[in-house]
Structure 1
Amino acid sequence: MGLTVLVLVAAFAFGRLAGGPGPLAAPSVRRVSLVVAALGVHLAEPLVAAEVAYSYPMCMAISATLMVQFAAGNLRTPGVALAAAGVCANALVVVVNGAMPVSESAAARAGISVERLALDTDSRHEPLDGATRMAPLADRIPVPIPGHREVDSLGDVAIAAGAGLYAFSAAYRRRGIFTESGIMNRWEPAERC
């Protein structure tokens, strides 16, 4: 999550610097209720985790389904498909393993102790080992953000990149890069949304 926030802030700031001052022109998105529903599923999961077996994999599968539907309605919106692919990658590795595998060596490289990971008491995460399926999609990328160290997956990186692309396109004032037809116009800004 920290990586996504960092990328969002940096992309937005870079977009404002590169595009100059002026009003924001965020690309329009449709069916936002699907994203709200996906977030709601994640917020509700801890409340039912004790009573519902495999609640976390089910939560991830439902979220991925909702995000695919959201992306299908917003294919021309910068970053949406990339973020949805990241959610699907995370859901896939969680569903096939029952939890998100975490590389303890990547955590050590990020500056996180094994005790702090608490993998033995966390039902959403498990240690990455030889029995892990789809290991390349697991949490194995150390991200030593100052003040917030974490281990991320390829899906997390895709979510951060998609969110950053959307934030940049929202902040960039000269909208000629992202036009409805997908054609780049270097000389004249596209019409405002």
Structure 2
Amino acid sequence: MTIHGLLLLIAPPALGVIVGYACGGRLASLRNLRLSALWLLWLAALVQAAQYYVTPLRHPALLAVVFGLVLWWLALNLPAWPLAIRIAGVAITVGALANGLTIALNGRMPYEPATAEAVGLRPGLTTPKNEPADHATRLAFLGDTIPVPPLRKVVSPGDLLIGTGTVALTALAMRRRRDRPDPPPRPVTGGDT
């Protein structure tokens, strides 16, 4: 993984923390969000990292394993979250499903060669995770078609949903609950009936 890819991975939660603080939230409030089976996310991250460093694991089918683990984790956690946070979780889920479907239909995530070239990447390059789109590519519009010039990356609509959902989920989970003080008790008088 390149430094630009790492920045793209870290940017959504970091931006979520900034937005969370700007909205009066606190990092400590993240503890209030019920998270179970975190081992699924760690396993997904491990499989994803292994694809970069272990040659026999550079098979596109392992991306399905990564998506499956993340979706499993979301399915376990979404029902327990408050509505606004659940909506952010649904955005992440829809983004993951869009990416997963595109990869399943093509074997790898297709990218637009002209867009890749526009951000300074080598067009026509096939990697363990990506391949250039061509006339036979299915759902090419859901592939990596959106340029991110500062990071020299091309992302998909699904990546945008995942990133936006991550920002929103983090910021909403940080939001401090503003407990309203109880109204003062009404005095009880003998004439009230």
| Equivalent residue for 1:85, pick from 84, 94, 114 | 94
Corresponding residue for 1:25?
Answer: 29
| Equivalent residue for 2:168, pick from 165, 169, 172 | 165
Corresponding residue for 1:180?
Answer: none
Provide, for residues 109-163 of structure 1, a one-character-per-residue CA deviation record: whole Å limited to 9, x for no partner: 4x32xxx336435242211121111112100011223xx2211001111111121
Write the letter of the residue equivalent to 1:154: P
Structure 1 residues 157 and 23: alpha-carbon distance in aligned structure 2, compared to 1, 3 A threshold: closer
1:18-167 equivalences in 2 (<5 Å): 18-19=23-24, 24-26=28-30, 27-49=33-55, 51=56, 55-56=59-60, 58-76=61-79, 77=81, 78=85, 79-109=88-118, 111-112=119-120, 116-117=121-122, 119-145=124-150, 148-167=151-170
Structure 1 residues 136 and 122: alpha-carbon distance in aligned structure 2, compared to 1, 3 A threshold: same
1:166 deviates by: 1.9
* 3-state SS of 2:152 partner: strand
Structure 1 residues 104 and 33: alpha-carbon distance in aligned structure 2, compared to 1, 3 A threshold: same
1:36 deviates by: 1.0
| Equivalent residue for 1:5, pick from 7, 10, 15 | 10
Write the letter of the residue equivalent to 1:107: A
* 3-state SS of 1:70 partner: helix
Q: Distance in 1 between matches of 2:144 and 2:75?
A: 27
Q: Distance in 2 between matches of 1:91 and 1:80?
A: 16
Structure 1 residues 36 and 23: alpha-carbon distance in aligned structure 2, compared to 1, 3 A threshold: closer
Write the letter of the residue equivalent to 1:30: S
Corresponding residue for 2:185?
Answer: none
TM-score by length of structure 2 reads: 0.74
Q: Distance in 1 between matches of 2:164 and 2:9?
A: 8
Provide, for residues 37-63 of structure 1, a one-character-per-residue CA deviation record: whole Å limited to 9, x for no partner: 1111112224554x46x712x111111
* 3-state SS of 2:149 partner: strand
Greater Rg, structure 1 or structure 2? Answer: 2
Structure 1 residues 70 and 121: alpha-carbon distance in aligned structure 2, compared to 1, 3 A threshold: closer
Q: Distance in 1 between matches of 2:141 and 2:49?
A: 27
Write the letter of the residue equivalent to 2:41: V
Q: Distance in 2 between matches of 1:122 and 1:8?
A: 26
RMSD: 2.6
Structure 1 stretches lacking a partner, 5+ long:
177-186
Write the letter of the residue equivalent to 1:15: G
* 3-state SS of 1:151 partner: strand
Structure 1 residues 151 and 44: alpha-carbon distance in aligned structure 2, compared to 1, 3 A threshold: same
Question: 8 Å contact 1:12–1:170 — kept in the other structure?
Answer: no
Give the count of matched residue pairs: 168
Q: Which has the higher helix share?
A: 2
Write the letter of the residue equivalent to 2:169: Y
